[in-house]
Structure 1
Amino acid sequence: MTNCSTKDVDTLTQKLDLVIYVPVLVFGLALNIAALVVFCRLLRKWTESSIYMTNLALMDLLLLLQLPFKMHAAHHKWAEDTKLFCSFLESLYFVAMYGSIYTIVCIAIDRYIAINHPFRAKQVRSKKNALIVCIFIWVFVMAMTSPIYTFREKKMGNFTCFHGFSKNGWSTGIIVCLEVFGFLLPAAVLVACSIQSVRTLKASKNSDHKRQAGVRIIYSSLAAFLVPFTPCHVAIFLQYLVRNGFISDCKQQKNIALFIQVSINIANVTCCLDALCYYFIAKEVRSTKETLRLSISRVRTTSTSDTLDIKLDNYPSLKPHP
């Protein structure tokens, strides 16, 4: 890209960053802080679901805290002696992004087990296991993002943070691991679990309202994952082709440079989409409490009560409070 200037693209994306990042930062902080207050202070009892949701909110908050630095870096060069601090911020940014991806996948797996294997769920699902999984996610993504500290040249002078990684950052091994383990495998697991969960719900004997509520929750979670993260990883692959000389046309390079900036901005919107999913789920729960209370009282008098009780135990947040 040495003979192809993207200054006009940089100027455009600087304006775009402000248009997108400011509302995302404001609403994202408000929604995720409110979600943490609900999960940590207002819920009567910790559950597997609330532990995963809390972890997701923490990941989203960590990503949101990097946005002011990204906005500053888009308009100002950073001094060479801030390279380590810049790499630290970049690492946290990717920890938050891929930590969110893995947490969303774990929520889908947890939901799949509860819906499709309710008896086994009593043995597999627990608050302790959910906490261990969340801790493992933090350790795993921190370890996987550690190579970011090698993506800057040793002597570079003033530089633009969050941009302009060296050739090490666009090596084939790094990009393959990022695409496969950071997106393709999590996406495949998420889609498979969601499809199976939807099929089971549609085949269940629950009321239409409860089935539709569960299906909407699953579809909303799937959309909140695929819509922000798919364009982002397509753009990363295209930029890899540019940085390694597979795409040499200047116009195409400019289009890809714009695409990757726009798609990353879209990926950051997931901080708000996740928070909206929390409240969508809460709304569905509130609207079905009375129906569930009546269903419990009827089913407990039949021989099938054990199955329903296990499914409700898997999602304590759906149980009506006494």
Structure 2
Amino acid sequence: MPDNCTSVEYDFESKILPSIYTMVLIIGLGANGWGMKSILQKQKKVGNNVFLLNIGLANFLFLPTLPFLSAYYFMNSNWIFGDAFCKITRFCFNLNLYGSIGFLTCISVDRYLAIVHPLKAMGRMTVRNTVAISVMVWVLVSVQSLPDMLYLKTSTNNTTKTNETAKCYHTTSTQYVEDYLTYSLGQTLTGFCIPFLILLGCYGHVILVLCQSNTIDKEVKQRSLKLLFILILLFSVCYIPYHIFRNLNLYARGLLKKGQCPTWNNGVFSAHQISRGLVCLNSVLNPLVYLHITDISTQFNKLLLRSCHMLNRLTVSRYGSVQATQDLRFLFASSNTSSC
């Protein structure tokens, strides 16, 4: 580090992160377990439910690693579990992060097609198709996460002859920070930016259709807006800050390696540490999405039956058929119940 740079305190890692990880572990296991159980017991595994179950699976891949990470940071970043397990924990983190983003995007596209293009989407979101899409998401997430395991993840600093402190890097060592920044930017683009733009486009169009339609129930509109709010909360709190400050921190580390000391280094480092705590909260906030969607089915069973009777009374005109199909398909997507 250059002489004109002041060192940054690591108190957040040793004091705050273990507390956050412990809280996420306890709440996450309970919320995800109860949510997935309710989906399996009460809902048919079609459409959104397959994607919701995969979000829960992504959370359960990450949550068991939290006790080990908590112990690591509680012991002042002293990793005692070996290089292989360090890479596994970081790989599970990436699977959870980008798997959750991927399946939230799938849910957004599914609801977009169901509301805006109901005729094209009708009958296509079968169990077979949704499982195939889910497998494809897992493959893509795994492919973009595997290169992370090829970077150096652990190192040992000999502070005394009898004492060694092993590091388990969240990204990689300073030696490879420039290469890792390139990889991180690519991962941010494919794993976060593109899905986020797709999600914004889908829900932006959905909200526009809901606001312009006079035939969709007011409560249905309100619940759709609440779901959009949950997704915005997830991205604003968990995903956006993490990706911004991870890449800025890697860039600052590259400058420090070259002997430069940016004035914003300490601020970016501190913000990055906070964002690392916030990003793991997605395992607590994700259940809000599938608990919200499963509640929709119990709330709108009567509306679904009512729409069936209304459909039988409509004329056979093209406009009336399309409009009725849109309303009915929206209720199908919201409640995931069987057709009338």
TM-score with structure 1 setting the length: 0.88
Would you say the 8 A contact 1:229–1:267 is kept in 2? yes
Q: 1:313 to 1:281 in 2, by over 3 A?
A: closer
| 1:11 aligned partner | 11
Q: 1:17 touches 1:265 (CA, 8 Å); kept in 2?
A: yes
Cα offsets for 1:150-205 (capped at 9, x unmatched): 22178645422244612435424212202211221111111111101111122222
1:208 aligns to what? 218
Q: Which residue of 2 aligns with 1:63?
A: 62
Q: How does 1:136-151 map to 2 (within 5 A)?
A: 136-151=136-151
CA contact (8 A) 2:116 2:206 kept: yes
Q: C-alpha distance in 2, partners of 1:286/1:75?
A: 44
Alpha-carbon spacing, 1:272–1:164, altered in 2? closer, same or farther (3 Å): closer
Instruction: Select which of 204, 208, 228 maps to 1:199.
Output: 208
Percent of aligned pairs with the same residue? 22
Residues in 2 aligned to 1:59 and 1:153: alpha-carbon distance in whole angstroms: 22
Contact 2:153 2:170 in 1 (8 A): no
Please tell me whether the aligned partners of residues 230 and 288 of structure 2 are also in contact (alpha carbons under 8 angstroms): no
Cα 1:260–1:115 change in 2 (3 A) is same
- Aligned pairs for 1:180-199 (under 5 A) are 180-199=189-208
Q: Kindly tell me: are residues 227 and 93 of structure 1, through their superposed partners in 2, closer, same or farther at Cα, counting changes over 3 Å?
A: same
The answer to which structure has the higher helix fraction is: 1
Q: Is the 8 A contact 2:115 2:326 kept in 1?
A: no
Change (3 A) 1:6 1:284: farther
Q: Which amino acid aligns with 1:296?
A: C
Aligned residues: 319
Matches within 5 A, 1:23-42: 23-40=23-40, 42=41
1:281-317 Cα distance to aligned partner (Å, 9 max, x none): 3334333332333233233322346615760585273
**CA offsets 1:64-88 (integer angstroms, 9 cap, x no match):** 2221121112133225x81122112
Q: Unaligned stretches of 5+ in structure 2?
A: 158-164
RMSD of aligned residue pairs (Cα, Å): 2.7
Question: Out of 161, 167, 172, which is 1:160 matched to?
Answer: 167
Rg (Cα) greater in structure: 2
1:28-52 deviation line (CA, Å, top 9, x unaligned) = 1101011121222x12522111100
TM-score normalised per structure 2? 0.84
Q: 1:32 to 1:250 in 2, by over 3 A?
A: same
* Match for residue 237 of structure 2 among 216, 227, 245: 227
In 2 relative to 1, CA 194–44 (structure 1 residues): closer, same or farther, beyond 3 Å? closer
Deviates more, 1:152-161 or 1:118-127: 152-161
TM-fit CA distance, 1:6: 4.5
